[in-house]
Amino acid sequence: MSSTAPDEASNPITHALNLARDTLPPMHPAGRPFVAAGVAATLLLRRVWKPLGAVGALATLATAAFFREPKRVPPERAGLVLAAADGLVSLIEEAAPPPELGLPAEPRMRVSVFLSVFDVHVQRVPASGVVERVAYRPGKFLSADLDKASDDNERNSVLLRTESGHELVVVQIAGLVARRILCQVADGEKVAAGDTYGLIRFGSRVDIYLPPGSEVLVRTGQRTIGGETPLAALPERGA
């Protein structure tokens, strides 16, 4: 049986366009104003001196890359806490959760992931459930890889009740260069593991506080992929 539809696989141009579309990640909407400003600046600089236009174009491409939001496929296994961000596991230690969430000041296991300016900077929901509380707290802008950044820096904390009934805390922390934390979820909202829920500009850290009895599955120095890398296994029964 013959077909009048063109064979896309045999067309090298179409194949290349489809490959580029599948390979290049989309951009988070928060990056569009910055990229648009970069394009405008590039055109102006090019009129002044072409080499300046080339510099502007490279800077615009770097900005677009910073705001990339690649597709992620979370594992199907139930009872996992996924990494909320791409980056490096910098700390695994016990610490009390942020006081602004109103939780007991009892230490819980905390896994901290440091994001450099080269990492994907959108944050992913670590487990499916319901957002119980969102709390923002202004603060300093110390280097996000320092221990005291969790206590002193500007941060946005989310208390999540997982489908199995566990309390999970995920905290976006501003860094030395970061000056803006974006959180796109609100109290009472249902969320799914791996979905994008926020973004930090430009260099930052994300802490996850685990419920008692969780099994940590990563080690210090390991790199994580937000929405895909299992950070921990939750206890079998909820609180």
> Residue 183: CB partners within 8 Å, gap ≥ 6?
134, 136, 156, 158, 172, 197, 198
**CA-derived radius of gyration, the chain:** 21
| Pairing mode of beta strands 87-95, 108-115 | antiparallel
* Sheet arrangement for strand 167-174: 190-191, 129-137, 155-162, 167-174, 204-209, 108-115, 87-95, 223-224
CA 204/CA 30 separation, integer angstroms: 16
Q: Are 182 and 153 in contact (CB under 8 A)?
A: no
Helix (H, G, I), strand (E, B) or coil at 74: coil
| Selected catalytic residue, list 112, 157, 204, 214 | 204
CA 161/CA 169 separation, integer angstroms: 9
**Catalytic annotation on 204?**
yes
Task: Record the tokens describing residue 161, joined without a space.
Answer: 């009740």
Residue with token string 């206890």: 235
| Active site amino acids | 204
